[in-house]
């Protein structure tokens, strides 16, 4: 098992590259910092919620999709950022 305690299958092993305007990106990253979270964490949360909410939705042919994967694990608790610690 890896030193950090996570199972190998839980590791992130893929990327999704998107193109957005610099203004949208900067506003999103700034808001995430204000909320003490990361942009990547919030995008992963959106993708997970989106896919879960659309399970069983009809596909283009009108047939319901068969999504048999197990339900994802709950999100880990947020870690305190180093910058938020008082000196």
CB contact at 8 A, 26 and 33: no
pLDDT value of residue 63: 57
Whether residue 42 contacts residue 32, with contact meaning beta carbons closer than 8 Å, is answered with yes
Task: Say what the pLDDT of residue 85 is.
Answer: 56
pLDDT value at 66 more than 60: no
- What pTM, to 2 d.p., does this model score? 0.56
Per residue in 4-63, pLDDT tens? 665 666 678 899 999 999 999 999 999 999 999 999 999 999 999 999 998 887 767 665
Per-residue confidence (pLDDT) for residue 64, from 0 to 100: 55
């Amino acid at each position: 098992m890896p030193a950090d305690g996570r199972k190998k299958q839980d590791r992130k092993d893929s990327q999704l590259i998107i193109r957005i305007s610099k203004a949208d990106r900067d506003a999103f990253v700034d808001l995430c910092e204000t909320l003490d979270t990361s942009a990547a964490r919030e995008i992963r949360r959106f993708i997970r919620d989106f896919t879960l909410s659309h399970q069983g939705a009809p596909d283009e042919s009108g047939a319901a999709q068969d999504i048999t994967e197990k339900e994802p694990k709950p999100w880990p608790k947020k870690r305190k950022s180093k910058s938020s610690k008082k000196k």
